Chain A
Amino acid sequence: MTLITTILDGQESEASSLSRSNPAIKIPAVLLALAASASWLATAAVTYYMPDVIDFGRVPEFAALSILIAAALIAGVIAGIRQPALGAKVRRLLPWSLALGIFTLIWQLLAGKLGVLPQPFFPPPHGLLEVFTDDYPKLIEGVLASLRLEFLGFAFGAIIGFWVGVALGWSRTFGYWVHPIMRFIGPVPSIAWLPIAFFAFPSSFSASIFLIALTTGFPVAVLTWSGVASVNPAYYDVARTLGANERFLIFKVAIPAALPHVFVGLFMGLGASFAVLVTAEMMGVKAGLGFYLQWAQGWAAYANMYAALIVMAVMCTGLVSLLFKIRDRVLSYQKGDVKW
């Protein structure tokens, strides 16, 4: 539910975060920048000078990366004095930079240098870095495969769900036949279809597309339906007195009026589809990040698993942000609170 409220309140929260003066910056920015920078320098020093409990590789590279972050923070603050826009951005990042620096330092000590965390299950940061520097072709390949599957499934599901929703909202006959089916099948988690899908479809790839489409399509259909059903009836009266036919009422009144709801459905569908994507990749599809995770576990390559998780997080967040961007463009008429 939090996702929905975030989506619905999207504009307000954006607006309020802009108008609110930054509360995290109470300590002068310079002190904070020095502290953040120091935490990364400490990480670099610990990484480089303390011996590893077992050999993890990429020690100097990670130390260098930490120094680079420390230097970038200082440089950013200095450059920010001249350019206020950049300065504000850097100052906003400072508290998080400090927190991450401290986290990385502790992580490095516990995992890499003191061996408090059991190895090899919790690799240190430079262990992860090694995955990114050495195994990136496979990771990229995995991301592309996952994106392809996700895109196909999501697109099919969104398009079919959208039209089913419109038809449910518009036609009583369609509703009579389809509504009970949706009520019966809808609550079943899509994953439950997985065993059937894998033998009913010619390939595990097409089966996965079906499962992702099912997961996406359901919330999209329900939300589109509720959007069409809740259109202000006066909108139809206006159009009808102006000479609109039914086609016009559907395409130029009902659908545009329902779009804000449709986007809520798309967000819910997208979130749910990630779970099915990864499961499908783990269970049958021999490609993608889910498969990579499974494969890494099989080889006890724990650092690779963490690396894949990070990549997956970036990918999923990226897709959600992309959908936000699209929504803001399509629903741009809601933006701007200039009153004349």
Chain B
Amino acid sequence: MVGATAYAHEPVAAATRALDVHSVSHAYTLEGNPLPVLDNVGFRVEPGGFVALLGPSGCGKSTLLRLVAGLEQPVRGEIRVDDKAIAGPDPSRVVVFQDPTLYPWRSVYDNVALGLEAQGLLKTRRHRVDEALALVGLTPFKKAYPHQLSGGMAQRVALARALVNDPEFLILDEPLGKLDSLTRISMQGEIVRLWQQKGFTALLVTHDVEEALVMATRIIVFSDRPATIKADIPVDRDYPRHRDDPGLVELRRKILGLLGLEATW
């Protein structure tokens, strides 16, 4: 895959295990009726990859991420990490949600320290909190409280809170969806940089075609609910990418076509 560990400045716990989504189906119960959200979805992510899951909103992409995180169990099929089925949440698979969901009663520093504290590692690995804050450029704000932060800063804290655990899989659930467009563009670059530096496997849910094209090494396009895989498209371009790269523009046309939106483009 594209230079996953090439940019490493520090010892990196690069991803070594593959993620295998194995014919997964899932449904919720809505007023007594089953509501299917995923229909026989299967794909494999090699270690160090950056995969974008793209689809119309409400199609079930986020549900898939909850399953990968281990927050829920699929109704049928299973998700494996190197042939071991996921049974529950694990700090090797950390989620960054659409809302930063920082704890308002904790300072920025304490929010970032959350994972280490929960695992009982805070005493021995305290230095990692400062490293993670430096990584997202928020060291001067470590004593601030979440309500004092802008949306972009809060999302960067959420990113640091995930990275402090050195996850093998970083699960990004539309993490930039609520940010203004300028902040979004700069944070897209920032996440790609962190991915190159750290070598984790990234799974990004988004409904923004351009975002998927700029960030991912591979884009999986989903249909409407219940989600099935419509296309699996490699994005074989170097970083940093430019939005007006003719190769990307061509891919964008193709993906919008798959989503039934070629007329608007």
A residues lining the B interface (CB < 8 Å): 232, 234-235, 237-245, 248, 252-253, 256-257, 259, 331, 333-334, 336-340
CA distance A334 to B89 in the complex (A): 31
Looking across the interface, which residue of chain B has its beta carbon closest to that of A249?
Answer: B118
Sample 18 A-B pairs with CB under 8 A, ordered by A number.
Answer: A232-B101, A234-B101, A235-B103, A238-B95, A241-B69, A241-B95, A242-B91, A242-B115, A242-B119, A243-B91, A243-B118, A243-B119, A244-B118, A256-B105, A259-B105, A333-B106, A339-B148, A340-B150
Query: B35 at interface (Cβ–Cβ under 8 A)?
Result: no
Looking across the interface, which residue of chain A has its beta carbon closest to that of B148?
Answer: A338
A336 near B148: Cβ-Cβ < 8 Å: yes
- With A241-B70, A242-B161, A339-B150 already in contact, 15 other A-B pairs whose C-beta atoms are closer than 8 Å: A234-B101, A237-B71, A237-B97, A238-B95, A238-B101, A238-B161, A241-B69, A241-B71, A242-B91, A244-B118, A248-B117, A253-B103, A333-B104, A334-B104, A340-B150
Contact A239:B148 (CB < 8 A) given known A333-B104, A340-B141, A340-B153: no
Q: How far is the CB of A226 from chain B (nearest CB, A)?
A: 18
Query: B231 at interface (Cβ–Cβ under 8 A)?
Result: no
Contact A334:B101 (CB < 8 A) given known A241-B93, A241-B94, A244-B118: no
Q: How far is the CB of B84 from chain A (nearest CB, A)?
A: 17
Query: B239 at interface (Cβ–Cβ under 8 A)?
Result: no
B97 near A334: Cβ-Cβ < 8 Å: no
Looking across the interface, which residue of chain A has its beta carbon closest to that of B144?
Answer: A340
A243 near B141: Cβ-Cβ < 8 Å: no
CA distance A111 to B153 in the complex (A): 66
Q: How many residues of chain B are within 8 Å of chain A by beta carbon?
A: 32
Residues B129-175 near A (CB distance < 8 A): 141, 144-145, 147-150, 153, 161, 165
CA distance A242 to B101 in the complex (A): 13
B165 near A243: Cβ-Cβ < 8 Å: yes
A243 near B90: Cβ-Cβ < 8 Å: yes
CA distance A248 to B91 in the complex (A): 14
Query: B4 at interface (Cβ–Cβ under 8 A)?
Result: no
Q: Name the B residues within 8 Å of A239 (CB-CB).
A: 114, 118
Q: Name the B residues within 8 Å of A237 (CB-CB).
A: 69, 71, 95, 97, 101
Contact A252:B117 (CB < 8 A) given known A241-B69, A241-B93, A243-B89: yes
Contact A340:B148 (CB < 8 A) given known A232-B101, A243-B165: yes
Residues B56-103 near A (CB distance < 8 A): 69-71, 89-91, 93-95, 97, 99, 101, 103
CA distance A237 to B97 in the complex (A): 10
CA distance A154 to B172 in the complex (A): 47
Contact A235:B148 (CB < 8 A) given known A242-B91, A242-B114, A242-B165: no
Q: Name the B residues within 8 Å of A245 (CB-CB).
A: 118
Looking across the interface, which residue of chain B has its beta carbon closest to that of A338?
Answer: B148
Q: Name the B residues within 8 Å of A234 (CB-CB).
A: 97, 99, 101
Q: Name the B residues within 8 Å of A238 (CB-CB).
A: 95, 97, 101, 114, 161
Q: Name the A residues within 8 Å of B89 (CB-CB).
A: 240-241, 243
Q: How far is the CB of A12 from chain B (nearest CB, A)?
A: 14
CA distance A337 to B153 in the complex (A): 16
B147 near A334: Cβ-Cβ < 8 Å: yes
CA distance A106 to B148 in the complex (A): 52
Q: How far is the CB of A252 from chain B (nearest CB, A)?
A: 7
Q: How far is the CB of B240 from chain A (nearest CB, A)?
A: 28
B91 near A257: Cβ-Cβ < 8 Å: no
Q: Name the B residues within 8 Å of A336 (CB-CB).
A: 145, 148
CA distance A245 to B88 in the complex (A): 12
CA distance A259 to B149 in the complex (A): 22
CA distance A334 to B93 in the complex (A): 31
CA distance A238 to B161 in the complex (A): 10
CA distance A244 to B88 in the complex (A): 12
Q: Name the A residues within 8 Å of B148 (CB-CB).
A: 336, 338-340
Contact A242:B105 (CB < 8 A) given known A248-B118, A333-B145, A339-B150: no
B101 near A252: Cβ-Cβ < 8 Å: no
CA distance A259 to B27 in the complex (A): 35
Q: How far is the CB of B187 from chain A (nearest CB, A)?
A: 17
Q: Name the B residues within 8 Å of A257 (CB-CB).
A: 103, 105
CA distance A240 to B95 in the complex (A): 10
Q: Name the A residues within 8 Å of B147 (CB-CB).
A: 333-334, 337
CA distance A240 to B69 in the complex (A): 9
B94 near A240: Cβ-Cβ < 8 Å: no
CA distance A277 to B97 in the complex (A): 50
B141 near A242: Cβ-Cβ < 8 Å: no
Q: How far is the CB of B19 from chain A (nearest CB, A)?
A: 15
CA distance A239 to B114 in the complex (A): 8
CA distance A73 to B101 in the complex (A): 53
Contact A256:B103 (CB < 8 A) given known A239-B118, A248-B118, A340-B153: yes
Q: How far is the CB of B217 from chain A (nearest CB, A)?
A: 24
B71 near A240: Cβ-Cβ < 8 Å: yes
A252 near B118: Cβ-Cβ < 8 Å: yes
